[in-house]
Amino acid sequence: MVPALAIGLAALLAACSSTPDDKTEKWSPNKIYAEAKDEMGSGGYDRAIPLLEKLEGRAAGTPLAQQAQLEKAYAQYKNNDQASALSTIDRFMKLHPASPAIDYALYLKGIVNFNDNLGAFAFLSRQDLSERDQKAAKESFEAFKELVTRFPDSRYTPDARARMTYIVNSLAQYEVHVARYYFSRGAHVAAINRAQSALTDYQDVPALEEALYILVRSYDELGMTQLRDDAKRVMEKTYPKSEYLSRGFRSKQDPWWKLW
């Protein structure tokens, strides 16, 4: 047993001796930060992250450490690691609730969730945010809402407001996507329930026109003529130029968000 133990210790020591030196060992915090920024500037987010983690430790308790934490969250987001980015942001806000950068942290949290669900770049894949799971969209909205409420004069607030509008529209459209799916499968009661949810929960959004049309068609399929006529009157009054009543469902709508 002794020779085996000796061999194991020797292997361990050899492994330790082969560990590469830490090139940042003698660097100042400012130099580490500068190197990390250079890496991020050239798209090397995966290389910037460990540098920023070292900076957090070296500059602990200073504003630079806080900056490093936020920069790391951004680098993680750009490195397509949304889960780590959100974890870093939440940790920052918990540790530094009075930081002057809290508005940016909230904005970044909103952005990470927003783009995790395609968001502004949906047009690249021709898939609209409303066609995907809505958990990230709702979390994005809450982060932007907190930013707008707590920091109305923040430089990030105007963009957050615009994104909130987009998200509300997409959440309403999601309900309509589901309602349309149920209608196409002949589940007319379920279609009515989802269309009514959109009409109840949201106001002044484009998706409501189709929600009303789904009600009209679903009530008609169920033979509920009075409710059908009521829904049709509301639709004609609210959307007097609607093409749904004359042309029916569109095969593929041009997304309203193309102007984003």
The answer, yes or no, to whether residue 126 has pLDDT greater than 50, is no
Residue 1 lies in a domain: no
- Buried b / exposed e along 167-200 (16+ C-beta atoms within 10 A): bbbbbbbbbbbbbbebbeeeebebbbebbbbbbe
d(CA 213, CA 226): 15
Of the two residues 19 and 61, the one the predictor is more confident about is: 61
Q: What per-residue confidence (pLDDT) applies to 69?
A: 96
Q: What per-residue confidence (pLDDT) applies to 123?
A: 35
Of the two residues 20 and 217, the one the predictor is more confident about is: 217
Q: What per-residue confidence (pLDDT) applies to 135?
A: 85
Task: For residue 244, give the DSSP letter.
Answer: H
Residue 132 lies in a domain: no
Residue 114 lies in a domain: no
Query: How many folded domains does the chain comprise?
Result: 1
Of the two residues 252 and 174, the one the predictor is more confident about is: 174
Q: What per-residue confidence (pLDDT) applies to 193?
A: 96
Residue 222 lies in a domain: no
Tell me the chain's radius of gyration from C-alpha atoms.
27
- Lowest mean pLDDT, pick from 134-138, 165-169, 234-238: 134-138
What's this model's pTM, rounded to 2 decimal places? Answer: 0.74
The per-residue pLDDT for range 28-67, each reduced to its tens digit, is: 999 999 999 999 999 999 999 999 999 999 889 899 999 9
Q: Angle at CA 79, nearest 5°, toward 77 and 81? A: 60
Residue 76 lies in a domain: yes
With a pLDDT cut of 90, the percent of the chain lying above it is: 69
79: tokens are 């490195």
Q: Angle at CA 243, nearest 5°, toward 238 and 246? A: 110
- Lowest mean pLDDT, pick from 53-67, 119-133, 184-198: 119-133
Residue 52 lies in a domain: yes
**Amino acid identity for residue 176 in this structure:** V
Residue 69's domain spans which residues?
23-80
181: tokens are 């799916």
**Amino acid identity for residue 24 in this structure:** T
Residue 215 lies in a domain: no
With a pLDDT cut of 70, the percent of the chain lying above it is: 81
E strand map for 125-237: none
**Amino acid identity for residue 195 in this structure:** A
Q: What per-residue confidence (pLDDT) applies to 38?
A: 96
d(CA 196, CA 175): 9
Mean pLDDT of all residues in the chain? Answer: 85
Q: What per-residue confidence (pLDDT) applies to 24?
A: 83
Under the banding of pLDDT at 50, 70 and 90, the label for residue 246 is confident
Average pLDDT over residues 107-131: 61
Residue 135 lies in a domain: no
Rounded to 5 degrees, φ, ψ at 207 are: -65, -20
d(CA 197, CA 176): 9
